[in-house]
């Protein structure tokens, strides 16, 4: 995996013109699709039927982030839809190892997300079951929040554990990613970055992606 993958979040896109908005980020590594159910998080976004349509027209793979309750029941359907990577929240999963295995069996990469206050240590023994660990750098549920620096030590501990295990697990960060904060997150050990407003607030989202990628790569090369 690239040392700096940029996955723009369509939470900041124009929902009336999603297909056109997807074309504007065709240089991204994946498109981050935030699925919220108004239960696990207070916001409500979109569900499986819309994700299936996005899957059909997206120029890049889908990275689905499921901020939903009863995720053990619903997550496998996203894998069945062809989504490249499906991430569930540890706090919402009843049987995270079983769920991660089921996602992989159905052809998706398995990701697990942790809220800012959720410690990473209880989940380190299941790294071999995951392709990606998502460390939320804001509270899940809303776009446009500021990056929480208190998550940086957790990113560092996760990176150290992954390197110590020898298992190839990506570390994704989501929330408040800008050309400034991507540097701190990359230096801490993250290598997959979700950016919403930092991409879609610009007139040229593709150029914004290139700038974020360059900043992240420079941080890891330093």
Residues annotated as part of the active site: 34, 174
Taking a C-beta distance cutoff of 8 angstroms, is the pair 33, 65 a contact? yes
Sheet holding 132-136, edge to edge: 5-8, 192-195, 170-174, 132-136, 109-114, 85-89, 62-67, 31-36
| Pair of tokens at residue 111 | 């990701």
Q: From residue 82, give the alpha-carbon distance in Å to each of 25, 56, 93, 216.
A: 20, 9, 21, 29
Taking a C-beta distance cutoff of 8 angstroms, is the pair 144, 175 a contact? no
| Pair of tokens at residue 21 | 């908005």
Taking a C-beta distance cutoff of 8 angstroms, is the pair 130, 136 a contact? no
Residue 216, classed as helix, strand or coil, is helix
Residue spans of alpha helices (H) in 64-180: 71-80, 96-105, 152-165
d(CA 80, CA 76): 6
d(CA 17, CA 205): 15
């Amino acid at each position: 995996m690239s040392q700096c993958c940029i996955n723009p979040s369509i939470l900041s896109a124009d929902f009336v013109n999603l297909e056109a908005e997807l074309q504007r980020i065709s240089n991204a590594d994946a498109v981050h699709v935030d699925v919220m159910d108004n239960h696990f998080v207070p916001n409500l976004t979109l569900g499986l039927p819309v994700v299936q349509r996005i899957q059909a027209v997206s120029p890049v793979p889908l990275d689905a982030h499921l901020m939903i309750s009863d995720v053990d029941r619903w997550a496998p359907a996203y894998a069945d839809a062809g989504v490249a990577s499906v991430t569930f929240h540890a706090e919402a999963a009843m049987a995270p190892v079983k769920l991660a295995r089921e996602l992989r069996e159905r052809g998706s990469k398995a990701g697990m997300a942790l809220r800012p206050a959720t410690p990473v240590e209880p989940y380190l023994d299941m790294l071999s079951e995951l392709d990606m660990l998502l460390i939320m750098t804001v509270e899940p549920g809303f776009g446009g929040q500021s990056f929480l620096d208190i998550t940086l030590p957790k990113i560092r501990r996760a990176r150290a554990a992954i390197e110590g295990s020898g298992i190839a697990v990506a570390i994704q960060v989501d929330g408040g990613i800008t050309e400034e904060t991507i540097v701190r997150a990359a230096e801490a050990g993250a290598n997959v970055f979700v950016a919403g407003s930092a991409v879609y607030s610009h007139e040229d989202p593709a150029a914004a992606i290139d700038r974020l990628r360059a900043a992240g790569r420079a941080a890891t090369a330093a």
